[in-house]
Chain A
Amino acid sequence: MNWAQILFNSAVTGSLYLISAVALTLVYGLAKFPNFAHAEIMSLGGFIGFWVTEQLGAPLPVAFAAAFLVAGIVGYLSYRGIFKPLTDRGASLIHLMVASMALGFILRHTIGEIWGFSPLTLSIVWPAYDIGPLRVTLNWIILIITAVAVGIGLHFMLTRTRIGKAIRATASNPRLALSSGINTTRVLVITWFVSAGLAGVAGLFRGVETRLSPYLGWDILLPTFAVAMLGGIGSFYGAMAAALIIGLAENVGVVLLAEAGLSTEYRMAIPFIILIAVLIFRPQGLAKAFKGN
């Protein structure tokens, strides 16, 4: 068993979950509801990347920028068009969840209408390197670097910038934030944009690694929830630790499953089981929400 490779693969899996989970947890911490349409925003990012590279012929960095922008704009529009009006009308938590599922449906089938439901593959061939016992491909290295950059970037944004401080203030007490002169609507607009944009990036990474289908986002949504929950909603420091834990659990778990003679189909169930266990035994997650820091 090549444990070095398993550890490296865990870091790759964890990095992907990290990007999507910090994005999810930002909105969850602020808007106070789980946005199920996060899945389809990830798919959208993947397909925008496909369109830019395969259909327009632009280089990959452009595709990532486009995925971020288009997904971000969709996030902005969904907040402005759906979630803000609903919140203003006093919609309950359950209504917001149902609305986010409905939005997910609209997006998924719009994507399906444009690009179809059969899986598509990006035609990029990545160079692979052998480093000691490890076999790594360039996209994995880029993914890990991006995840670390997203983590550090968000850390500095939340602790050092005005908007970051406003986000934390709004997350911990929206009314107090509003009365102390913070434009909470603007804070939410920016958060939705950044969150959806990052979801788009995560989706494109997933698409680069595997294949694209309108179900791409749904397939990683529940592991993403697992990471966000294990980390503690609203806490992205927690999310970073949790992403590694879940990545490790999945990759080590699949080896253990094979050794135990169980179906490797259960690989997908591992994050789900962790998710349920976390919700039952430690619903507040590993860390306190960032409002408490």
Chain B
Amino acid sequence: MDPILIYGLNALVYIGIFAIVALSLNAEYGYTGLASFGKVAYFMIGAYSFALLVQAGVPWPLAMLLSAGIASLFGLLVSLPAIRLREDYLAIVTLTFGEILRIFIKAEDWLANGVWGMNIAPSFAAGNFSLGLLLNLALVAGILAACFFFMQLLANSPFGRIMRALREDEIAADAIGKNRIKYKAQVFMIGSAMAGLGGALFANFVGYISPESFLPIITFTIWMMVILGGPGSNIGVIVGAAAVQLFERGTIILKDYVDLPVDPTNLQNILFGLIIIVILMYRPSGLFKESKINTLGTRRAMRWLNPSSK
């Protein structure tokens, strides 16, 4: 295959993987208002679970599902004590959890080879690089589509309305009999499962993971995708994921063509920071505004209120 095509397809796979994780943050932050600053932790749990399961001989599709399940359980585990906390405390706890996890993996060599990292046997089309890339792309695209439709359905379901109610006024949601701790924990489980799935896809695609693959910067990048794309908009965060990934790659390619006076990685991160601040200041709703709730109930209600329209 043409190297440029390979590069493009490669980029698409990454966009897909990060879009899945961004969708999961959209469930937590965009719809429910939970400040989960530990996205990288669940991404990491998914990736390591997948690597360890595949190493233990579990077939990869099953390993992928199990990884999502394991990440989800960790989401529940962390959420149970943390979910009652105020937004800022929750942010600090989740951030800290990610760092503890990284220290744990580094320290316990027996589990996942510590700082040396793990190699993951390719799941399919071993030996044929191009075919492997295409299959990975198809897999990621398929799972992304599934996650997107799941999120759309979820957001427009009664559960989605509870999520928004928790975001807008959790005390009121509690007062009308919606157990906020229970619902938040469920959202956290869904979000963690999706992030874990993203991590499993990542491990499957790159074929090598180490504690250095899971720095806190990943959490920030995912937040950037959601803030840029538009919290509460599933299409928005996918566009955000694509934009952030392409920008990241663009600045790296730039150095081959333009003689920059600054290191492109530094430039890129400085620009990321500036963009986030500008968006928060001038367009906090992101590129895509949150869509209206679209359910059978609202459609009926609209028809009843305005019989002339279809």
Contacts and interface: CB of A to CB of B under 8 A. Distances in A.
A34 B96 contact: no
A272 B266 contact: no
A243 B53 CA distance: 42
Interface-centre pick from B87, B107, B267 (highest chain A CB count, 10 A) = B107
Contacts of B270: 105-106, 109-110, 113
Contact of B281 (A34, A85, A262): A85
Contacts of A33: 88
Given A102-B273, A113-B263, A113-B266, A97 B280 contact: no
For the complex, would chain A's binding face be called helix, strand, loop or mixed by DSSP majority? helix
B97 A276 contact: yes
A103 B85 contact: no
Contacts of A275: 92-93, 96
Interface residues of A, number: 41
Interface stretch (A48-56, A152-160, A263-271): A263-271
B33 A280 contact: no
A268 B96 CA distance: 11
A101 B272 CA distance: 11
Given A105-B220, A113-B266, A94 B33 contact: yes
Given A86-B281, A97-B35, A283 B99 contact: no
Contacts of B22: none
Contacts of B95: 222
A206 interface: no
Contacts of B103: 265-266, 268-269, 272
Interface string B215-230: 0100010010001000
Interface-centre pick from B93, B97, B227, B265 (highest chain A CB count, 10 A) = B93
A92 to B, nearest CB: 8
Contacts of B263: 112-113
B296 interface: no
A94 B85 contact: no
A168 interface: no
A99 B280 contact: yes
B8 interface: no
Interface in B1-55: 29, 33, 35, 37
A7 interface: no
Contact of A263 (B107, B216, B272): B107
B277 A82 contact: yes
B126 interface: no
A95 interface: yes
Contact of A102 (B99, B267, B272): B272
A272 B99 contact: yes
Contacts of B276: 98-99, 101-102
Contact of A109 (B89, B93, B269): B269
A157 B165 CA distance: 44
Contacts of A109: 265-267, 269-270, 273
A43 B299 CA distance: 55
Nearest to A266: B107
Interface string B85-111: 111110111011101100110111000
Contacts of B269: 105-106, 108-109
A97 B33 CA distance: 13
B82 A95 contact: no
Contact of A89 (B33, B93, B281): B281
A262 B267 CA distance: 40
Nearest to A257: B107
Contacts of B88: 33-34, 93, 97
Nearest to B274: A106
Given A101-B220, A108-B269, A222 B280 contact: no
A256 interface: no
Contacts of A93: 35, 87-88
B91 A269 contact: no
A248 interface: no
A273 B100 contact: yes
Interface in A89-143: 89, 91, 93-95, 97-99, 101-106, 108-110, 112-113
Given A105-B273, A112-B266, A113-B262, A91 B280 contact: yes
A276 B88 CA distance: 13
A95 B284 contact: yes
Contact of A279 (B82, B220, B267, B273): B82
B284 A91 contact: yes
Interface in A255-293: 262-263, 265-266, 268-269, 272-273, 275-276, 279-280, 283
Contacts of A262: 107
A24 B280 CA distance: 23
A104 B224 CA distance: 14
The 7 closest A-B pairs by CB, nearest first: A263-B107, A106-B273, A102-B276, A105-B273, A265-B107, A102-B273, A109-B269
Interface of B: 29, 33, 35, 37, 81-82, 85-89, 91-93, 95-97, 99-100, 103-104, 106-108, 216, 220, 223, 227, 262-263, 265-267, 269-270, 272-274, 276-277, 280-281, 284
